[in-house]
Structure formats: structure tokens, C-alpha cells
Amino acid sequence: MTEQNHSTRRQMLRAGLAAVGGVGVGMVAAGARAQEKIDPKMVQYQATPKDGNKCSMCVNFAPPDACTIVSGKIAPDGWCIAYAPKES
């Protein structure tokens, strides 16, 4: 391999790394958009408990009436499929 080939290879590697870096920035931007909350219908939110599980027992519940991942007013006695019990 000649010195020119080496140099071309290095340039290609740098270009590849820059492309990977670009993807990273894109993913961070997508992550920021993902901060928007989920529509309650998408997670089958209901204002009543299910099988004894309810929002007030979920790690995502934000008292007095909100959720960190689901939008809108969330009842402490509500429930959705994203329910994740707090560790006791």
C-alpha cells in the first residue's frame, strides 16, 4: 500500500467517524422529541385501578395528578399499560 493509499484510507475513516457523529447528534435530537408525553389513549389509560394496580403505586406517577410519561390529568386511582410498580 502506498503512502497515498494510507492517506486516502485515513480520510475515509475520518469521514466515517464524522458520519457516525452525525447520527449521534440526530439521535439526541430524536431523544429530545421523545420527551413529549404519550397520549393516554395510546396506553389505554383508564381512571380506575386494574387488578389492584393504580397510578399512585407506579414509578411514573407525579402527584397530585400527573404522570411523567403520559399526558393530561392522571388520577391517583387510574391505570395504564405502562404501569410500573414502585419498589417497596
The binding site for ligand SF4 (CB under 6 A) comprises: 43, 45, 55, 58, 60-61, 67, 69-70, 74, 78-80, 82-83
Find the shortest distance in angstroms from Cβ 64 to ligand SF4: 12
Sign of CA dihedral 28, 66, 60, 46: negative
Q: How many Cβ atoms are within 10 Å of 4's Cβ, its own excluded?
A: 8
Q: Which is nearer to ligand SF4, 4 or 52 (CB)?
A: 52
Q: Which is nearer to ligand SF4, 12 or 81 (CB)?
A: 81
First to last CA, the chain: 63
Q: Which is nearer to ligand SF4, 21 or 55 (CB)?
A: 55
